[in-house]
Amino acid sequence: MIQNWSRYCVLQQFFNFPRKAFLILRESQGLYPTFKAETNNALYKLLKSQNLVLRLNQSGILSILEKTLYPTCVVLFGSASRGEDTEESDIDLFIQAKQSKIDLSKFGKTLNRKINLLFESDFKTVSPELINNLANGVVLYGYFKVI
């Protein structure tokens, strides 16, 4: 009985900070409480986005893209850059370089996501909507120059 109570206290302490920061919600259903992410919280979205950036860096995908494509910049954009992605969402990467075939299936398996690459070497042909998406994205490599 004491062991079970101790485990409960440890879990309660573990969940205290995220609950106070409104990162997770506690729901009482049945005998034991359940917890779920507060996906509308701005801090949660920021931390989720930064976690993906860290995982992209650690996976080695950026160094492979840099060595094989020689891009001017690589930008994470879309729902993943805003922290609004789900498990089924893909990772959208804009690469300012000439289009080239590259196999990223290994990285897709590592990250448990499909990776979509969008190539464009010149911004003159890019739509204003895409430029807005890129401007609101996260620059992972290089410098994002519109002008």
pLDDT digits (tens, 9 = 90+) for 62-86: 999 999 999 999 999 999 999 999 8
Distance CA 138, CA 79 (A): 11
Residue 140 has pLDDT above 70, yes or no: yes
Looking at the chain, the whole-number percentage of residues with pLDDT higher than 70 is 85
Q: Which residues contact 126 (CB under 8 A, 6 or more apart)?
A: 120, 134
8 Å CB contact between 113 and 91: yes
Tokens of 86: 């789900």
User: pTM for the full model?
Assistant: 0.80
Q: Is 79 exposed, middle or buried (0-12, 13-18, 19+ CB in 10 A)?
A: middle
Distance of CA 96 to the CA centre of its chain: 20
